[in-house]
Amino acid sequence: MTSVTRPGIDIFDQVDELLDPPYHLILLNDDEHTYQYVIHMLGAVFGYGPEKAFAIACMVDSQGQAVVMTGSHDEVRRKQDQVHAFGADPFLEICQGSMSAVIEPAC
């Protein structure tokens, strides 16, 4: 935060917030992860309850993707790293690794 002082007036600019627009983290569908895995991963990474996680899993399955969070680029990137590091689905033998998630500007 920067401040500009003029006689009798202090003006505070929150430049950082204006320069960092929001971003979406979008979970992508694939055929290598079960609903159980997706619900568990969303709970572990994002703290979502079973109902919300199930609703997101349904959207990913039916529409091919779903926004799982919106935030600053740094926040979204940290969560993307957690999704990518979550590991393979233990409920499905053909699973080779974690789900994929992409970052896109929210605007």
pLDDT in tens, 54-98: 999 999 999 999 999 999 999 999 999 999 999 999 989 899 999
CA angle 101, 54, 41 (to 5 degrees): 45
Place of tokens 């969560």: 79
Residue in the block written with tokens 């690794």? 97
Q: Per-residue confidence at 20, pLDDT binned at 50, 70, 90?
A: confident
Domains in the chain, start-ordered, CATH in brackets? 21-105 (3.30.1390.10)
Whether pLDDT at 51 is above 90: yes
End-to-end alpha carbon distance in the chain: 24
Please state the pTM of the whole predicted model: 0.81
